[in-house]
Amino acid sequence: MFGFHLSYQWLHYTRPSGPPSPVPRGLERHWVNTPQGRVEVLSNTPSITNKFNGPPMVFCHGGMGCAWVWTEYMQYLAARGVQCYAVSLRGHGESWHPSYFRMVFATPRSALASDLVAAIEWVQTREEGEVMLVGHSSGGGLSQGVLSDGLANVKALALLGAVPGFGSMGVYMNWWKMDPWFTIRLIFHLWHSNSPLSHPKLTQRAFFGDKLSLSSVIPFQRHMNRYESYLWPFSMMYSFASPSNILSHIRNDGANGEKVLVMAGTQDKLMTGPVTEKTATFYREAGNDKRDGVRLQFVEGAGHHLQNDVQWEDGAEKLFEFYKGIA
């Protein structure tokens, strides 16, 4: 049936087993201990002689992601002297995994937020200063929630294809329009959280632009987590973050006074152009002075996972240009 792509090969109900996956070239793996279990953090290794005088970046992945999705960005930024860290929230990457039912039906956004805060605090202690926070998709929503609730202070916030703080109901409507078999397939899969991305062709369509080949999606598919929290995205369907609160917890002492970067791919089928522009307006209207600046950028041809698409370097360059004004 056209576009149905019913597959069970990529659905899992048990925790991953075996040794941790190899660390990507040029990166290092760390463990942050939390009361529930250890959380994976990957870091890059910029040259000491070429180190950029700015805050470290902390990257937060979105749903189905992990620290690995930031590999190319971290390698790119290491070459430019920027210290970076990427966290895998519980149930993702090499971090500790709750059971299927606990993760899918009983892991709220607040639990994942505690992992992100633990990683931020660990980096701040290690680097002796505040960080620039970069969040993608639901990780962008998580980042906004953390700042809105006053759980962290940062130097800047970059939202990449991020769930908007005013709510993501429209985003999921975009997904249902793109995939008319969404609900029927979900029933066949007995409501497994990964059903919408249970075949590489579904992942290619939802997450990438039209230039990335299906064969290039396979390594990405293998790094996706085995099951995902439903409560995380459900908690962000409607307004969940205050832009004024968020801006009050961002303290950029750089020359340009910009606090927020909003960036997405022009072929993002979820966080579309209108959604992304509305997110930028959401922050611009909440700003009180010129030091509450917001930068809006688009990566031509990239899909939702702009950091893993063919055009990833264009996005990394735009992120670095924004970073240069942060201090």
**CATH code at position 218:** 3.40.50.1820
Q: Is residue 185 part of a domain?
A: yes
In sequence order, which residues have a C-beta less than 8 Å from that of residue 280 and are 6 or more positions away? 260, 262, 294, 296
Residue 318: predicted pLDDT: 99
Q: Is residue 20 part of a domain?
A: no
Rounded-to-5 percentages of helix, strand, coil across the chain: 40, 15, 45
Residue 121: predicted pLDDT: 99
What residues make up the domain containing 110? 27-323
Q: Is residue 97 part of a domain?
A: yes
Q: Tell me how many domains the chain contains.
A: 1
Classify residue 26 by burial, with Cβ atoms within 10 Å: 0-12, 13-18, 19+. middle
Q: Is residue 7 part of a domain?
A: no
Q: State whether the Cα torsion 270-161-113-281 is positive or negative.
A: negative
In sequence order, which residues have a C-beta less than 8 Å from that of residue 170 and are 6 or more positions away? 275
Q: In a structure prediction context, what are the per-residue pLDDT tens digits for the chain, which is 327 residues long?
A: 456 678 888 899 999 998 999 999 999 999 999 999 999 999 999 876 678 889 999 999 999 999 999 999 999 999 999 999 999 999 999 999 999 999 999 999 999 999 999 999 999 999 999 999 999 999 999 999 999 999 999 999 999 999 999 999 988 888 888 898 988 999 999 999 999 999 999 999 999 999 999 999 999 999 999 999 999 999 999 999 999 999 999 999 887 889 999 999 999 999 999 999 999 999 999 998 777 899 999 999 999 999 999 999 999 999 999 999 998
18's tokens: 């075996």
Q: What are the Cα distances from residue 161, in Å, to 153, 196, 263?
A: 22, 18, 6
Residue 207: predicted pLDDT: 97
Q: Is residue 275 part of a domain?
A: yes
Q: What is the pTM of this model?
A: 0.95
Closest CA to 154 of 78, 242, 87, 247: 247
Q: Is residue 16 part of a domain?
A: no
Q: Is residue 4 part of a domain?
A: no
Nearest-angstrom CA–CA distance, 118 and 40: 11
Cross-strand pairs, 258: 293
Q: Is residue 316 part of a domain?
A: yes
Cross-strand pairs, 132: 57, 156
Residue located via tokens 């688009």:
298
Largest CA distance in the chain: 57
